[in-house]
Structure 1
């Protein structure tokens, strides 16, 4: 087997200095982390439109990829919707590789060396994340102890994105910083506050009084951002619990959630906050409230309380209410991604109920003219005491898509929006919803193509047969080509793959 010890060894060395008690567990978690990342990479190789793959030949229980130049890559049959780490090795021209970073280097494709480095860090960081977990976390439903605070649910997500090979890549973060700021390590983070004169800021909505100092706004800043990007400490800010997105945190004392700028690449994107998104945030929040009224109580949107920027994507923040505001007595609001590793009650029936709820809401809004990016981080589900899915909560409106033509067709007032969120392109609208909801959230919760197909088959026949449902039922399912995007640094925007439709 080929090994790429660099990132793994670097993390082990740093870990020995800051948390020597975790070194043995970290080492034990490395093989599983390699398999988890390799499984995600194999999915990409099997289904994404990578220009150097000239053919895909299934056979028996395996799959052979024909590569440009006459090379071949052999591995197991690929399930684009599987979340278990089922790929432990593949063979490139007869040589076995169990390390995704070494495999990417061996492929010798354009921009592959950069991605190989990211994959190496993804493996090492994933092993670190797993090493810090309780020995035997409860996964059976109902959970032995319900998490009380919303952030506790968020911190149950250990492995990151279920389908992205860069699921745990955190460039620029030392081991000490990962332990101090990674939600899966359950730290309390001391935010920094950078005072900026109010007349030098763009403010959308109402900036909280508690984040003002006379004529200055106190913009919350992630401590990593303060140290590495802004290069200034700022003032001591509030304590907060990091959520699964890392740069969004729940203020202590059941406070609101704060989305901070984090100018580094996590998975695919640099997580700063554009001036554009700050300017639209209040309009989008008000518009979302009007949309919720059209869902018969099945969907809530978390309100944006205030957003501010000092004219730079590196110094900006969004304050929004906690999704827990929408939980009734005995209910819990849970990010869907946090349910992926939980043994849900009567799993097939639960999955069908959740699929029905999610598609009913998502398709209704899409027909009206709004495509949600309803992946497992943005989409939350309100659960009853017995675990039944009751309603949905959606947060972070920055990447939705709005169709003025569809809104007008339904007599819905068109908000004053501009830029990337506005489109009447049906393909773009459907990709936004189906790529996130079906190929992301529902697939990640189902765990396999067979389980996803069974849930969709149960539900789809009962839904209103809109043109969007017809498109979902009869065509390949769109999914972001996440690896292609990382290998195409000169191509802006999203690129897409087409996955086999899981419906029987």
Structure 2
């Protein structure tokens, strides 16, 4: 029976044609990439509400999952906050699997075939990303885009951490930030009366009566079906579709491809609200005692289509003074800083102080490691935070009004007074995402939280964080539920031990 070639074999064959010098290193990186993706998948199997898992029980030195068809799946004792690849194989009945896509195929669950293909692509792309790294890391970067390029393995907990379906090997090498390319953005002119523009669209992106939209070359080739537009060179950031322009600002481009979970376009809704959101977020910084900056949205434009749109933002580097470094939280793991318990506790205290203060006021940030940056002193001490990309925050008019904060003119999904939704947004991104990913293990996260929360005001939100299971997006369940719209959620074990009292 014919079996299609695996993603690993496909990538190896393409790599032999475009970068033969990387083939041997790609092969050497495959075992580690498989373990990295399998570890993320095992976390999901151990904790997400997957309907075909009927029972989970400790067994010896690991965990056994009882499946609805009577089979059993056994693996190591799970650490829901681990970032190191500690799962090298799991056993389904008597068969061991070290490749996540083969495990998903063997499980034979609804919609599993498509997800298995994504897992195989995630492994192959992860190995490709690792294969292209320099043998000896350089000193700490001097530019914002160099920091972003140090994040090689992608999302710390998503099994699709490096899945880029629709991207050839040549395109991954040409556009992936971890490969350190210079990307030539297209410049597409559109009649001004056919565009929605908010904020201040710069003169250099206007041509008489036309608005000029920066376009990612992948989008131009695969979605817009156009080539030959005059371009500008830019450096891709860790989100791949957002790039640093030579003059300083960052441009978020439409990229209608599924990366990890979502198709990355720019909705007309987000463009229409961008200026209002930016002004509102800028006003919020006054409530944080100087501990938070929010990058301003300079301008946004769309040709009435999520496939042809762009957003210009300030670079977070604008908020670092002389001698300070502004570092994406996702890149902290590439430094020695998180290995110090005192440093991690201080950073955790800073992040929770800001996040919980804004939540109390009525704003839930999506403060994961990509959106959240930390300003470090010359000695590496965490001083302040910088937040970027307001498209997925949540705003509670009721909480804002209760605190006398002017309520902005917002509509749609951003607006909610639902307490669970607000807490999930912040806790799932900041604690289960940025802080857990920086800590790297349940033990390190627990120790940091235990120290950090002692001096925080005991608000109802803090009590919920301390005493209830920690919400996190059920990323695997979402990929296995193509007919279900919106986020789905899992509950992770409460990361803190005995709840501190008396503050």
Could you say which residue in structure 1 is the equivalent of 2:501?
Answer: none
Distance 1:465 1:458, change over 3 A: same
CA distance in 2, matches of 1:231, 1:358: 43
Could you say which residue in structure 1 is the equivalent of 2:320?
Answer: 327
Structure 1: tracts of 5 or more residues without a match: 139-144
Cα deviation 1:109-134 (Å, max 9, x = unaligned) = 00000000000000000000000001
Determine if the alignment matches structure 1 residue 85 to structure 2 residue 85: yes
CA distance in 2, matches of 1:101, 1:496: 23
Determine if the alignment matches structure 1 residue 202 to structure 2 residue 196: yes
Could you say which residue in structure 1 is the equivalent of 2:482?
Answer: 489
CA distance in 2, matches of 1:269, 1:345: 29
Determine if the alignment matches structure 1 residue 46 to structure 2 residue 39: no
Could you say which residue in structure 2 is the equivalent of 1:11?
Answer: 11
Could you say which residue in structure 1 is the equivalent of 2:426?
Answer: 433
Question: How much does 1:4 deviate?
Answer: 9.4
Residue 374 of structure 1, aligned match among 357, 367, 370? 367
CA distance in 1, matches of 2:338, 2:358: 29
Could you say which residue in structure 2 is the equivalent of 1:244?
Answer: 238
Could you say which residue in structure 1 is the equivalent of 2:213?
Answer: 219
Could you say which residue in structure 1 is the equivalent of 2:274?
Answer: 281
CA distance in 1, matches of 2:416, 2:391: 14
Question: How much does 1:346 deviate?
Answer: 6.1
Question: How much does 1:237 deviate?
Answer: 2.0
Give SS of 1:312's match: coil
CA distance in 2, matches of 1:340, 1:163: 14
Determine if the alignment matches structure 1 residue 343 to structure 2 residue 324: no
Q: Contact 1:187/1:242 (CA < 8 Å) preserved in 2?
A: yes
Cα deviation 1:31-55 (Å, max 9, x = unaligned) = 0000000000000000000000000
Cα deviation 1:394-453 (Å, max 9, x = unaligned) = 000000000000000000000000000000000000000000000000000000000000
CA distance in 2, matches of 1:370, 1:4: 48
User: Equivalences for 1:460-499 in 2 at 5 Å?
Assistant: 460-499=453-492
Q: Contact 1:402/1:424 (CA < 8 Å) preserved in 2?
A: yes
Could you say which residue in structure 1 is the equivalent of 2:116?
Answer: 116
Cα deviation 1:162-191 (Å, max 9, x = unaligned) = 000000000100000000000000000000
The count of corresponding residues between Structure 1 and Structure 2 is 495
Distance 1:182 1:418, change over 3 A: same
Distance 1:408 1:87, change over 3 A: same
Could you say which residue in structure 2 is the equivalent of 1:450?
Answer: 443
CA distance in 2, matches of 1:341, 1:70: 43
Could you say which residue in structure 2 is the equivalent of 1:459?
Answer: 452
**Consecutive aligned runs of 4 or more in structure 1 exceeding 6 Å deviation:** none
Q: Contact 1:193/1:234 (CA < 8 Å) preserved in 2?
A: no
Q: Contact 1:285/1:397 (CA < 8 Å) preserved in 2?
A: yes
Question: How much does 1:5 deviate?
Answer: 5.7
Question: How much does 1:135 deviate?
Answer: 1.1
Could you say which residue in structure 1 is the equivalent of 2:143?
Answer: 149
Could you say which residue in structure 2 is the equivalent of 1:141?
Answer: none
Could you say which residue in structure 1 is the equivalent of 2:500?
Answer: none
User: Equivalences for 1:350-429 in 2 at 5 Å?
Assistant: 350-429=343-422
Cα deviation 1:304-331 (Å, max 9, x = unaligned) = 0000000000000000110000000100
Give SS of 1:173's match: coil
Q: Contact 1:4/1:101 (CA < 8 Å) preserved in 2?
A: no
CA distance in 2, matches of 1:240, 1:173: 19
CA distance in 2, matches of 1:236, 1:349: 50
Determine if the alignment matches structure 1 residue 137 to structure 2 residue 131: no
Cα deviation 1:475-495 (Å, max 9, x = unaligned) = 000000000000000000000
Q: Contact 2:332/2:338 (CA < 8 Å) preserved in 1?
A: no
Question: How much does 1:61 deviate?
Answer: 1.6
CA distance in 2, matches of 1:433, 1:474: 16
* TM-score, normalised via structure 2 length: 0.97
CA distance in 2, matches of 1:146, 1:71: 49
Cα deviation 1:244-282 (Å, max 9, x = unaligned) = 0000000114x2000000001000000000000000000
Q: More displaced, 203-212 or 74-83?
A: 203-212
Could you say which residue in structure 2 is the equivalent of 1:184?
Answer: 178
CA distance in 1, matches of 2:460, 2:119: 39
Distance 1:4 1:87, change over 3 A: farther
Cα deviation 1:368-415 (Å, max 9, x = unaligned) = 000000000000000111111000000000000000000000000000
Q: Contact 2:338/2:438 (CA < 8 Å) preserved in 1?
A: no
Determine if the alignment matches structure 1 residue 34 to structure 2 residue 34: yes
Q: Contact 1:401/1:422 (CA < 8 Å) preserved in 2?
A: yes
Q: Contact 1:226/1:232 (CA < 8 Å) preserved in 2?
A: yes
Could you say which residue in structure 2 is the equivalent of 1:94?
Answer: 94
Give SS of 1:121's match: helix
